[in-house]
A and B are shown apart, each in its own frame.
Chain A
Amino acid sequence: MEKESIIRNLEKIVGKDHVTGEDFALWAVQGGSIFTVYSKYTHYRTPDIIVRPQSTEDVANILKFLNRYKIPVRAAGAKTGAGVLPLYGEVMLDMMDMNEIIGVDEESMTVTLQAGCPWSKLHTFLEKKGYRTGVLGPHSMPTPSIGGGVSWGSIGVGGARYGIVVDQVATLQVVLPNGDVLRTGSRSNPYASWNYRGVNGPDLTGLFCNQSGYFGVITEVSLRIYPLPKYTSFIARGYTNRDEGLDAFQRVLQSDCLSEASYNSVHTNRMVAAINPQFQNIANLEGLLAATLEAQNQKILEGMEEEVNNLLERFGGAPLPKEAAMAFCYDYQGQVLPPIFAQGGIGHVVGMVPIGTIKKRWGELERYATDYGDYCLKIPGSEIPMLDISAISGIRQGLAALSYLWFFDPEDEIAEAKIREAETKTLKFMGDIGVANCHFGGTISPMERPTNELLRLIKKTVDPGGILGIEAFKL
């Protein structure tokens, strides 16, 4: 079907004001902030048409139409991260008009919202009511959509206690390529208005979490909520010995006292110190551990602080001002990242791994990053490459999300190609040592044959026409 005809048909569904095929409109949505290996060469690929559904019914009608003619389509949220895999000849389903917060259910302690709602809007809303979500959204910025975070397995602030975003999902509303609308968990029962996962049969919520838009389009999400913490404190510690710091990081995560924790390498510390004078004192630290503790009771908080400090004392290191912890735990996107991100193009990979594995493999993992240092920008005033290698977030007790960032000159196409190579190689290596991908789409982690075949079967069942993309399944 010709592009103009597709546009006219979509206009009949959502109205003229919500569809465009203008060239500049398509360039305007190119690329996310990072995760560019998952959206290969995003600066040079655009969708052909953008359509903005206003409701779940719109989504259903759009997918029904596109499915009939086998027209590829991908849902996009805020377009800040991994969620955009544009291909030529494709419709982008821009979900950001579906951004309403539907309501809080205090009985099941959940909040339900449309998938295009950004984290920042949800925080403002919940805080007024005295609540918070467990995971607060990505460390890097509060603007990504929650639907995107669920679909792409986002990690976020609060990981040490609450896990990753998909751990906090109770139920979903999903539209399948044939236009069917389904609800998962307790909401699969049409008489239930409360939200709980893992009931009413197999965990279909889990099926659509971290599916990267390949199985269906998420239109509503219900997340677990918690009372706002009454008391919060921060702990930061610097290490001149990397392994001592990693031991400390592992141990405090296992203490179950933390809400958020991160461990930054010397590469990160040097870069941050050079760009942000506020952090000059961390420049030579081999490791920086930052942690947040939260409680509803002052005595409990004090008890946790004592426990954590006692643990940390056993592993050396020296205390740092709590402002460092606050910056690295809660205000990464405010105090740390922006001047770094603004330096250039960004290559990024992230994966989840037990802490013990990091210690064993840190040297090898570091090599994959530093081998490509020649193609990176240099820390101002030095020849040291700009790299960020860190356990960006402790995940529950004993896991960590390991993150690599390479910063390169975005006007240097050779450097960009090399950093893409670095991303691919690092991901491959991480997969080979058992690191778990947080992002399914474009994954190169090894997957056993029965797992892969089951996923392909599910894909063929829910999306026989393959309109929601096929590249993850290597069909």
Chain B
Amino acid sequence: MALERYKKQIFRCFRCSYCRDMISNYSIGGILKPLEIDGVCPVYEEKRFDYYTSRGRIQTARAILSGKLDYTPALIDVVYMCLSCRACTEVCKANPEKPFQGIDTDKVMKAMKEDLASMGMGPLKPLKDRDDLIAERNNPFGHPRADRGKWAKDLNLPDKGELVYYPGCFASYEATETAQATVKTLTASGIEVAYLGADRERCCGHLLIWDGQGRIAEDWAAQNVDSMVKAGAKRVVLSCAGCYSAFKVDYPQLLGKLPFEVLHISELYQELLDQGKLKWEREVQKRITYHDPCHVGRHPGVFDPPRRVVSSIPGVEFVETLRKGKHSLCCGAGAGVVLTGFPDLSLGISKRRSKELKDAADTAVIGGCPACVQNLSLGAKTQRLEMEFYDLPILVAEAMGYPEFYDTHRIRYESPRARKR
């Protein structure tokens, strides 16, 4: 049972409820820095039963391990409703193996999903269908395999090089402007970018890793790493949070240490900024806030680079939301599991987060996660919030003076009245 791996953590949760109600510590008279995060678990905020919180999930896991509880359809749904966002882990301090660090509830849930998959009780049908589609078409959207490389058709990218760009499925098919903006901005900064091409680039498997089918994804991981090595990659850069997290966090766990460095696009941008190679040609006169994707922020720990990049753009007034950084609120996509399996729940959470972003600014930059961009845009549209969302490479491209990207930031909602003006 995969769940057994986490038995020590599960049995030592002492139910302090930080994962449910931690808003602030004692900050009397400024003695302690207030936490002030206004809630932890986005699913609990929507659903309000304890079993959605980390505490409740861990106690449920304990009952399963103790043989006192069996999986039922309703419980399986609850397992898959975990966003795996690690917000609970950030406020938890109860990990018996890592003092002052949190219990890995996302990994406990992942283990439960793996157990369900091995028992034939998971993943849920919409997720299984999606996984089958990925296996067949090498993307979750159902597009032809061969179209994967269409975005790069006119860019004449070499298929070998020391720096290889991995766009992933979303940027290859649904958000091609992100992939194009990434390449153009890097090339303009003097970086030679290689691209594996449709034939050699496998889906990273992030979605399967998080819905309990990591065993299948392990093969794809090995194929990707092999392709990178054959391409001569010393560094791999990714603009999608899910793909980045897969390469940075999951692949080493599956395959061991990787033979190349893995970078998020924001890290590379920061490096180029520090070297004076990233040059701003155009002012972007906007008040901008930043959303931390879970799989750029909490999972691998990249918080500062995108902020530095955004706030360095001339004309930008950079502001933060209340819940930011390691306490950021998930967009609701939940590693693609919640978005596919429970779209209404996902929408409820995205509405909450898009409202938080709108309260800070009319423009939100997402740190390299097309799923966040799409989900938050939908949340904003549903509430008729007049705001716009940028994926980071597109904002960078705009600020570097590429007019073809000026209007391609992801969905913007304008009220009919505003459109008439």
Residues of A within 8 A of B (CB): 18, 20, 22-25, 27-34, 43-44, 50, 52, 78-80, 94, 96-97, 118, 120-121, 123-124, 127, 132, 136-137, 140-144, 157, 228-230, 232, 275-276, 294, 326, 330-331, 333-334, 338-339, 341-346, 410-411
Contact A22 B74 (CB under 8 A): yes
Given contacts A80-B15, A127-B34, contact A28 B60 (CB under 8 A): yes
Does B285 have its Cβ within 8 Å of any Cβ on chain A?
no
Q: How far is the CA of A410 from the CA of B94 in the complex (A)?
A: 14
Q: Mark B1-41, 1 if CB is under 8 A from A, else 0.
A: 00000010001101111101111111111011010100000
Contact partners of A294 in chain B: CB under 8 A: 29
Chain A nearest CB: distance from B379 CB in Å?
21
Q: Which residue of the partner chain, among B14, B16, B28, B68, contacts A123 with CB atoms under 8 Å? A: B28
Some 26 contacts from A to B, beta carbons below 8 A apart, are: A22-B75, A24-B69, A24-B74, A27-B63, A28-B49, A28-B53, A28-B60, A33-B15, A34-B14, A43-B66, A50-B49, A97-B48, A118-B21, A123-B24, A132-B29, A143-B20, A143-B21, A144-B17, A157-B26, A294-B29, A330-B32, A331-B25, A334-B93, A339-B100, A344-B12, A411-B7
Residues A28 and B17 in contact in the complex (CB < 8 Å), given A142-B24, A342-B96, A411-B11? no
Nearest residue (CB) in A for B56 is A28
Residue among B16, B74, B78 with max Cβ neighbours from chain A (10 Å) = B16
Contact status of A121 and B12, CB under 8 A, knowing A342-B99, A343-B96: no
Interface residues of B (CB under 8 A from A): 7, 11-12, 14-18, 20-29, 31-32, 34, 36, 48-51, 53, 55-57, 59-60, 62-63, 66, 68-69, 72, 74-75, 78, 93-96, 99-100
Q: Choose one: A32, A120, A330; the contact of B28 (CB below 8 Å).
A: A330
* Contact flag A79-B50 (CB < 8 Å), given A127-B34, A342-B14: yes
Given contacts A23-B69, A23-B72, A229-B29, 12 further A-B contacts (CB under 8 A): A25-B49, A29-B51, A43-B66, A96-B21, A124-B27, A127-B28, A127-B34, A230-B29, A232-B31, A330-B32, A341-B14, A341-B16
Most B Cβ at <10 Å: residue of A27, A294, A411: A27
Q: Which residues of A contact B93 (CB under 8 A)?
A: 334, 338-339, 342
**Least distance between A243 CB and chain B CB atoms (Å):** 31
User: How many angstroms between the C-alpha atoms of A212 and B29 in the bound complex?
Assistant: 32
When the two chains form the complex, which single residue of A24, A33, A140, A411 contacts B72, counting CB atoms closer than 8 Å?
A: A24
Which one of A44, A78, A140, A232 contacts B29 once the chains associate, using CB atoms below 8 Å? A232
The distance in angstroms between the C-alpha atoms of A294 and B12, with both chains bound, is 36
Give, as a whole number of angstroms, the nearest-CB distance from B330 to chain A: 21
A450 to chain B, nearest CB (A): 39
Q: Please indicate which of the listed interface residues B26, B53, B56, B95 has the most CB atoms of chain A within 10 Å of its own CB.
A: B26
Q: How far is the CA of A333 from the CA of B32 in the complex (A)?
A: 12
Measured between beta carbons, the chain B residues less than 8 angstroms from A331 are 25-26, 32
Whether B28 and A33, one on each chain, are in contact in the complex, defined by CB atoms closer than 8 angstroms, is no
- A27:B49 contact, CB within 8 angstroms: no
With A118-B23, A124-B34, A410-B12: A143-B17 Cβ-Cβ less than 8 Å: yes
Report the minimal beta-carbon distance from B342 to chain A, rounded to whole angstroms.
15
B69–A30 touching, CB < 8 Å = no
Contact A120 B50, beta carbon cutoff 8 Å: no
The 5 closest A-B pairs by CB, nearest first: A338-B93, A28-B56, A28-B51, A339-B99, A27-B63
B25 and A29 within 8 A (CB):
no
A341 and B94 contact, Cβ closer than 8 Å, known pairs A123-B26, A141-B17: yes
Pairwise interchain contact A338-B60, C-beta atoms closer than 8 A: no
